[in-house]
Amino acid sequence: MVEHGPRIANASVFEVALPLLKTFVTGFGETSSRHTVLIHLVDDEGFEGWGEAPALDHPFYLSETTSTTFSVTVEYALPLALQSNSFDPHDIARAMAPIRGNTFARAGVEAAYWALNSARERRPISALLGGTLTRVPVGESLSIADTLDETLEEVSLRLDEGYRRIKLKIRPGWDIEVVRAVRESFGDEILLQVDANASYDLDDVDVLRALDDFGLLCIEQPLGYDDMEGSAVLQRQLDTPICLDESIRNPTDARRALDIDACRNINVKPGRVGGLVASLEIHDLCVERGIPLWCGGMLESGIGRSANLALCSLPGFSQPADMSPASVLYSDDLVDPTYIVESDGHVKVPIAPGLGFDVVPSRIIDRSVRFATFDASTQIIRERSLDDVAL
Ligand code: OSB
Ligand code: MG
């Protein structure tokens, strides 16, 4: 505990609308509205930190929603973090550990502390994490389309733009054909993988086995979000590595999955596993066990993408990250300039201290639908009218 160190002077939580340019269609359903939660910290020396808690609006990917995440952040995660009187992200993660689940809320608060520390120490978040890569390879995650032609057109566009890997969303009825069509059009050389978002069950083993013929990097989350044992049964019948996403909510889940051979590849999302501290633990476990891992995405704004990019600078992230650029997802990002995918499919890891990107306060305020703020004198977080926002 820091007794006389710097203090947080102001902490705020925003629910911000990020209108999607097009509906995102996956094995768990359609995502047409996308609100996210932002955490903003300012300390008494004027340093600031932003974090994002990127749950989806609905409870169809995982149980948390934007609303539950906003509430848990305001009522529990941020108060526990503030009461610790520490700025160290490891202490912050420990202070919030009594909260069961609600990983997005904890991750968002922790991320704001990483950014704050980065600003204070004038070292990028990636350096604080021990990352070494300066540019990271990325891939796009393609929504389920109405026609195969639509998908082929988009794959072609992304490959021309330099994306290093293509991930096709699949679900029963949109699987073997689309994978075959992409292989036939673009060859066996491109890095290709699929993501089922928990839309199959063990009765579908024949379809999933048929995917073994296409040289996929992995089949992501074929079975139920809570069916790790089923995944182990399935992995024994597949040559393609299963990648778990929804089933891994913390480092213990990752260890259990590897112990029972429920997957041979892991997708880490800081929001889904409870933060960067937990992500580091999963990274180290995967390196120790020789398991390829990569950073997934939650359609975050540039604020969340900053933390993802910093994480990707660690050496264990051996496969391209999911990182469709903001220009593909949203009309404009909450940071400006936002990250760009360079012609060889890499994105630069932010090197400026703090978030590494400049947030645009007016966009955050204009798109906020809910706001709560922490009062340093009363130590109480209150929901406030948006008229009270000052950034
Ligand atoms: O399953 O990986 C997923 C987006 C929202 C929720 C779940 C997933 C995804 C993606 C998007 O695939 C990847 C991205 O953010 O670029
Ligand atoms: Mg996934």
pLDDT tens readout for residues 334-370: 999 999 999 999 999 999 999 999 999 999 999 999 9
From the CA of 136, how far away is ligand 2's center (Å)? Answer: 19
149-171 average pLDDT score: 97
Pocket of ligand 1 contains residue 64 by CB under 6 Å: no
User: What residue owns the CA closest to ligand 1's atom 14?
Assistant: 297
Pocket of ligand 1 contains residue 36 by CB under 6 Å: no
From the CA of 142, how far away is ligand 1's center (Å)? Answer: 9
Amino acid at 33: S
Mean per-residue pLDDT over the chain, rounded: 95
pLDDT of residue 3: 57
Do the bridges between strand 219-220 and strand 35-43 make them parallel or antiparallel, or are there none, so unpaired? Answer: unpaired
pLDDT of residue 377: 66
Radius of gyration over alpha carbons of the chain, in Å? Answer: 20
- pLDDT top residue among 327 and 229: 229
- Which atom of ligand 1 lies nearest, measured to the CA of 31? 5
Do the bridges between strand 219-220 and strand 242-244 make them parallel or antiparallel, or are there none, so unpaired? Answer: parallel
Pocket of ligand 1 contains residue 324 by CB under 6 Å: yes
Pocket of ligand 1 contains residue 225 by CB under 6 Å: no
Ligand nearest to the CA of 144: 1
pTM here is: 0.96
303-313 average pLDDT score: 98
Pocket of ligand 1 contains residue 52 by CB under 6 Å: no
From the CA of 141, how far away is ligand 1's center (Å)? Answer: 7
213-224 average pLDDT score: 98
pLDDT of residue 256: 98
Residue 2 pLDDT greater than 50, yes or no: no
Residue 270 pLDDT greater than 70, yes or no: yes
The residue whose CB lies within 8 Å of the most ligand 1 atoms, and thus the one to mutate among 32, 299, 305, 338, is: 299
- Which atom of ligand 1 lies nearest, measured to the CA of 269? 2
Residue 39 pLDDT greater than 90, yes or no: yes
User: What residue owns the CA closest to ligand 1's atom 4?
Assistant: 298
pLDDT digits (tens, 9 = 90+) for 125-153: 999 999 999 999 999 999 999 999 999 99
From the CA of 160, how far away is ligand 1's center (Å)? Answer: 22
Ligand nearest to the CA of 347: 1
Confidence of residue 88 (pLDDT cuts 50, 70, 90): very high
Ligand nearest to the CA of 296: 1
List helix spans (H) across the chain. Answer: 66-72, 78-83, 89-96, 103-121, 125-129, 148-161, 176-186, 205-210, 228-235, 251-259, 270-273, 276-289, 302-312, 326-329, 361-367
Confidence of residue 331 (pLDDT cuts 50, 70, 90): confident
pLDDT of residue 169: 98
Pocket of ligand 1 contains residue 296 by CB under 6 Å: yes
Residues labelled catalytic: 169, 269
From the CA of 298, how far away is ligand 1's center (Å)? Answer: 5
- Structure-block tokens of residue 125: 């978040």
What is the chain's length? 391
Q: Quick one: DSSP state of residue 174?
A: B
Q: Quick one: DSSP state of residue 175?
A: S
- Structure-block tokens of residue 386: 């948006």
- The rounded distance, in Å, linking the Cα atoms of 316 and 283 is 6
